[in-house]
Amino acid sequence: MRFLTTALLVATSLCATAGGPPAIYDEGVDAKAAIRTTLAEAEKAKLPVLVVFGANWCGDCRMLDNSFKHGPSAPLIAKSFKVVKVDVGRFDRNVDIAESYRVPLKKGIPAVAVLSPQGKLIYATEGGELADARKMGDQGVYDFFSRVTASAK
């Protein structure tokens, strides 16, 4: 009985400290500064910058993030872009940044902009192309970024 009580206390403690899934977007970061830093890294690496707009509550954003880390898109993204993620909160944060890159957040998130290493806009999801990332699946995300990669060269 003592073991069971201890196990329950440990499990409860772990659940309380876990607080749900880990954040994929840093809600406290200065997005403009993060983009500037990533552009500097991109210029040195001679790679375009992939600016990913999303939020921690967004299931499609989580799926896209997972694809960048584990799916067939992972090696493509890693070799083709410097990535910076921009939190949009409940469409009340960093909206001005999205608008400056012609990304209409009202069409859905995740959304992306591709910038040259010098900061010029190369491509933007202007029609909510990734808003259904979960339905697209890993292969659909890969196919999408294969096309985007070709246009960014």
- The CATH number linked to 73 is 3.40.30.10
Query: What is the pLDDT at residue 5?
Result: 37
Percentage of residues of the chain with pLDDT beyond 90? 82
Residue 9 lies in a domain: no
* Average pLDDT over every residue of 25-53: 97
Residue 37 lies in a domain: no
Residue 94 lies in a domain: yes
- Structural domain that includes position 50: 45-151
Residue 152 makes CB contacts below 8 A (sequence gap 6+) with: 48, 80, 81, 114, 122, 123
Rg of the Cα trace of the chain?
18
Residue 73 lies in a domain: yes
Structural domain count, the chain: 1
Q: What is the pTM of this model?
A: 0.86
Residue 59 lies in a domain: yes
| Residues written for the chain | 153
pLDDT in tens, 51-85: 999 999 999 999 999 999 998 999 999 999 999 99
